[in-house]
């Protein structure tokens, strides 16, 4: 049975995690998958709540793991107009810096810790992204408004049940351990045969 504190954390963080994922992917289903997988990874093996910032960072890292799915100009951003059309023009790495700096309010140093890139790279990506969006927007306030408008277009579904999140994580761990054991056994048999 799920811990009440973890249930509260999941319910409280879910909408923001999904909106952050949406700004990175342009797709509500993909954003919910990112948020669900990030929660699964962060809560795996733990019954203690984790800071919301760690969950947000996990969503961003999960998006980078799936980088090819969210390339610049790809659908579903391509199917939308307005603020989403501006985001569509940006590669994921620039989109992530914009979201973290201008929506989440992180410092350059904090973005460095999330993305694991040097500060100069963060500044360069931010400059490129701001230049790309400059034709359509002016100033950091307009950029924040652009990100808020894009995030506000989505209504996340209900948060996932904590027990199912934890069971899925446990099931994956058992599967991986089983596959490792099988591989070790096959290697032992192969050595014996040779």
Separation of alpha carbons 78 and 83, rounded Å: 11
Terminal C-alpha separation, the chain: 49
- Name the residue with tokens 């009440």: 4
Q: Would you state the structure tokens that stand for residue 84, as one six-digit string?
A: 């989403």
Cβ atoms 121, 61 nearer than 8 A: no
Torsion of CA 123, 124, 127, 129, to 10 degrees: -110
Per-chain mean pLDDT for the chain: 80
The more confident residue out of 48 and 93 is 93
Please count the CA atoms within 13 angstroms of the CA of 121 that sit on its side-chain side.
11
Alpha-carbon distances of 83 from 27, 78, 105, 123, 141, rounded to whole Å: 14, 11, 19, 22, 14
Query: Residue 66 corresponds to which tokens in the numbers above?
Result: 């799936």
Q: How far apart are CA 116 and CA 69, in angstroms?
A: 21
User: Could you read off the pLDDT of 54-109 as tens digits, one per residue?
Assistant: 999 999 998 888 876 655 555 555 455 566 677 777 888 998 999 999 889 999 99
Q: What are the tokens at 112? A: 């460095």
Question: Which has the closest alpha carbon to 28: 75, 67, 97?
Answer: 75
Q: Using alpha carbons, list the distances in angstroms from residue 142 to 66, 152, 161.
A: 29, 15, 36
**pLDDT of 172 strictly over 90:** no
Ordered by start, the domain boundaries in the chain are 4-193
* Residue 193: band (very low, low, confident or very high) from pLDDT cuts 50, 70, 90: confident
Contact 72, 88 (CB under 8 A): yes
* Residue 120: pLDDT over 90: yes
Range ranked top by mean pLDDT from 18-22, 38-42, 46-50, 144-148: 18-22
């Amino acid at each position: 049975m799920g811990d009440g504190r973890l249930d509260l954390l999941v319910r409280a963080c879910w909408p923001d995690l999904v909106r952050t994922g949406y700004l990175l992917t342009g797709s509500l289903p993909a954003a919910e998958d990112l948020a669900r997988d990030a929660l699964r990874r962060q809560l795996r093996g733990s019954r203690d709540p984790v800071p919301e910032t760690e969950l947000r960072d996990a969503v961003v890292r999960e998006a980078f793991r799936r980088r090819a799915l969210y390339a610049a100009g790809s659908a579903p951003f391509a199917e939308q107009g307005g603020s989403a059309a501006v985001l569509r023009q940006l590669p994921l790495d620039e989109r992530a810096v914009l979201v973290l700096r201008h929506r989440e309010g992180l410092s350059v140093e904090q973005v460095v810790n999330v993305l694991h890139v040097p500060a100069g790279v963060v500044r360069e990506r931010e400059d490129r992204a701001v230049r790309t969006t400059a034709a359509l927007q002016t100033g950091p306030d307009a950029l924040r408004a652009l990100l808020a408008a894009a995030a506000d277009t989505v209504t996340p579904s209900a948060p996932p049940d904590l027990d199912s999140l934890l069971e899925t994580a446990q099931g994956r761990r058992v599967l991986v351990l089983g596959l490792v054991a099988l591989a070790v056994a096959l290697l032992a048999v192969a050595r014996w045969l040779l």
